[in-house]
Amino acid sequence: MTATASENCGGYRAFEDQKTLTAATARVLEDAGLHPTLKEDHAQRSYIETPIPLDRVDREELVHLASTVLLTLGITDVQVLALAEMLALYDEFSVSENDEAVYLSDGMWITADGNIVEK
């Protein structure tokens, strides 16, 4: 997934300053020894690819890397940012006014308060 994924449907731009975002992400990944590579997608939008060995996939490390990028960009409250994104996702897919959970995929639902639950 990229920070420009939302542009595919024309809804909104996930992060306005893509150059700053990719530069900050590249620095953080390089500092972590993950050897990022700058690439372009089919629409010539820059993104970063980095190999993460399967034996190194660790949720806490990935959250730390993402948090470090956000802090580098001056976004300090990651929890609030994540919640805002989840609420926006719920609003986007909700079809009723009664706060019913919205089915995402593979038994996962998002609730009106932005939580992901398995049903």
According to the model, what pLDDT value does residue 84 have?
75
Give this prediction's pTM.
0.56
| 96 and 40, same domain (yes or no) | no
Q: How many domains does the chain have?
A: 2
> What is the rounded CA–CA span in Å between residue 33 and residue 67?
17
| 48 and 106, same domain (yes or no) | no
- From first to last of its 119 residues, what are the pLDDT tens digits of the chain? 455 555 565 555 567 788 898 999 999 999 988 899 999 888 787 889 988 776 766 777 777 788 788 888 888 777 767 877 888 889 889 988 888 999 999 999 998 888 889 98
According to the model, what pLDDT value does residue 45 have?
79
Phi-psi region at 92: left, alpha or beta (left = phi > 0; alpha = psi -120 to 50): alpha
According to the model, what pLDDT value does residue 27 have?
94
| Amino acid of residue 115 | N
According to the model, what pLDDT value does residue 65 have?
84
Full domain range(s) for residue 9: 1-76
| 69 and 82, same domain (yes or no) | no
> What is the rounded CA–CA span in Å between residue 4 and residue 46?
9
Q: How far is CA 29 from CA 4, 24, 34, 43, 51, in A?
A: 19, 9, 5, 24, 10
